[in-house]
């Protein structure tokens, strides 16, 4: 019998779901290399490979068989061929722009363990999708709001979450679409550099975000009385500012978000939160010649930076802080530890911290490739963002399940 690849689910799975991979029909204890490839929407190639040895029966199940040294990873890692995908073009990030089409994953089984791949023994294709059947994608252009709403299948009401991205602008939809597959009505909200929104805002008006909260609460399929916020980086900071100033926010999950205003001041009614100062000259060159910007932001717990601190003691919401201990863009762990000490001193206990070693600034849903060096969101120079492959892959899976559990509990 010729070798063949067996996948479960067979033809299509969600991008954040595990995929079981097995090979049958090999020779007893035959040595093979498994390789995965995926092209993004611009045509850039991501690849991973691992070396394996079949069992005495010619079967190879990645859930039971450890990868041997010499590939992208080693050890018992059933999903290694997905989380270890790396771009062939250096410093390239995997981004999904059109969530209505899946990524196509190619799997190959090659003979032997040589530096040059051996003969092709078997191959398979698999779709990694962002929308479960029945999830609706609804573009939203109501009043000033520019967003996309994802609704789970069915006519029920669902807990509502607003998903706010970082400093890149635009309207990324991948995280919101994946969250909707898990039963949340999720609004991916743009706030600058999109359509008629400001290109370079002088201030972020919290009234705009308040409009988005009201839109969600008035939606017939959003279960009130409040909404949740999920924010990454600058989006985490925006979410925390919303929790401090706006009503009807029940739960906030912040992924490596600053706890002070950075780069763009906040305004609400007649109150302004000025930005903390950034000192570009404090960037350090690393051995690899890339810049480490982790020390460029004034300490918001020391004057003059403290007037930029978001007044989180005013927040009624439950707060979940998710931090990467190797974040080189924001000193996330330090900020969150300090701000929770302040909250505790005021008798507040509405917060929890999840802190992940070996995890950098970018914390994406599971199985997005590690992006440890890339363009700095503010200075647009090549910078160390932080993170290490295996630790990051475990953090992604754990944090994603914790975010869902947090919102299910409080919404």
Indicate the pairing of strand 86-87 with strand 45-53.
Answer: antiparallel
Q: Among 49, 174, 177, 233, which one carries the catalytic annotation?
A: 233
From the list 370, 342, 341, the residue with the least C-alpha distance to 356 is 370
User: 279 catalytic, yes or no?
Assistant: no
From the list 147, 176, 149, 150, the residue with the least C-alpha distance to 163 is 176
CA 374 – CA 383 distance, rounded (Å): 6
CB 291 within 8 A of CB 381: yes
Q: Give the DSSP per-residue string, 275-341.
A: PBPB-GGG-EE-TTS-EE-TT-BPPTTSTTGGGGB--GGG--SEEEEEEETT-SSS-HHHHHHHHHH
User: 233 catalytic, yes or no?
Assistant: yes
Indicate the pairing of strand 4-8 with strand 20-24.
Answer: antiparallel
C-alpha angle 392/228/157, rounded to 5°? Answer: 115
CA 363 – CA 370 distance, rounded (Å): 9
Q: Among 327, 332, 364, 393, which one carries the catalytic annotation?
A: 327
Q: Report the b/e string of 201-231 with b at 16+ CB within 10 A.
A: beebbbebbbbbbbbbbebebbbeebbbbbb
User: 327 catalytic, yes or no?
Assistant: yes
Phi-psi region for residue 269, left (φ > 0), alpha (ψ -120 to 50) or beta? left
From the list 411, 257, 395, 247, the residue with the least C-alpha distance to 321 is 257
> Encoding tokens for residue 265?
């001041």
CB 345 within 8 A of CB 201: no
From the list 211, 87, 69, the residue with the least C-alpha distance to 145 is 211
> Encoding tokens for residue 42?
């611009």
Q: Among 361, 364, 376, 393, which one carries the catalytic annotation?
A: 361
Other C-beta atoms lying within 10 Å of the C-beta of residue 382: 16
Cite the active site residues.
233, 327, 361
């Amino acid at each position: 019998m010729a070798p063949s690849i067996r996948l479960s689910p067979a033809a299509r799975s969600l991008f954040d779901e595990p995929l079981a991979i097995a090979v049958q029909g090999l020779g007893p204890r035959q040595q093979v290399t498994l390789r995965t490839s995926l092209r993004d929407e611009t045509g850039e190639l991501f690849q991973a490979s691992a070396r394996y040895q079949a069992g005495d029966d010619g079967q190879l199940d990645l859930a039971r068989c450890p990868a041997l040294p010499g590939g992208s990873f080693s050890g018992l890692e059933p999903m290694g061929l997905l989380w270890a995908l790396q771009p062939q073009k250096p410093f390239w990030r995997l981004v999904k722009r059109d969530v209505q089409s899946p990524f196509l994953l190619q799997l190959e089984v090659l003979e032997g363990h040589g530096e040059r791949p051996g003969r092709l023994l078997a191959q398979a294709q698999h779709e990694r999708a962002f929308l479960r059947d029945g999830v609706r994608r609804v573009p939203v252009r109501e009043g000033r709001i520019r967003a996309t709403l994802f609704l789970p299948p069915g006519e029920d009401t669902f807990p509502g979450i607003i998903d706010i991205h970082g400093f890149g602008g635009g309207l990324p939809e991948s995280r919101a679409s994946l969250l909707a597959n898990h039963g949340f009505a999720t609004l991916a909200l743009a706030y600058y550099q999109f359509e008629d929104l400001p290109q370079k805002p002088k201030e972020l008006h919290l009234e705009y975000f308040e409009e988005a909260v009201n839109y969600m609460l008035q939606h017939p399929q959003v279960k009130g009385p409040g909404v949740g916020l999920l924010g990454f980086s600058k989006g985490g900071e925006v979410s925390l500012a919303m929790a401090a100033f706006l009503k009807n926010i029940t739960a906030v999950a912040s992924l490596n978000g600053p706890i002070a205003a950075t780069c763009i001041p906040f305004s609400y009614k007649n109150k302004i939160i000025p930005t903390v100062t950034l000192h570009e000259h404090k960037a350090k060159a690393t051995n690899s010649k890339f810049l480490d910007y982790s020390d460029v932001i004034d300490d918001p717990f020391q004057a003059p930076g403290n007037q930029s601190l978001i007044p989180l003691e005013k927040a009624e919401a439950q707060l979940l802080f998710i931090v990467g201990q190797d974040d080189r863009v924001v000193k996330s762990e330090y900020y969150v530890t300090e701000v929770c000490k302040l909250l505790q001193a005021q008798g507040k206990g509405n917060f929890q911290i999840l802190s992940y070693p070996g995890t950098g600034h970018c914390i994406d849903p599971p199985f997005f490739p590690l992006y440890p060096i890339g363009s700095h969101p503010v200075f647009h120079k090549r910078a160390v963002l932080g993170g290490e492959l295996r630790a990051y892959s475990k953090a992604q899976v754990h944090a994603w399940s914790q975010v869902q559990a947090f919102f299910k509990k409080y919404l």
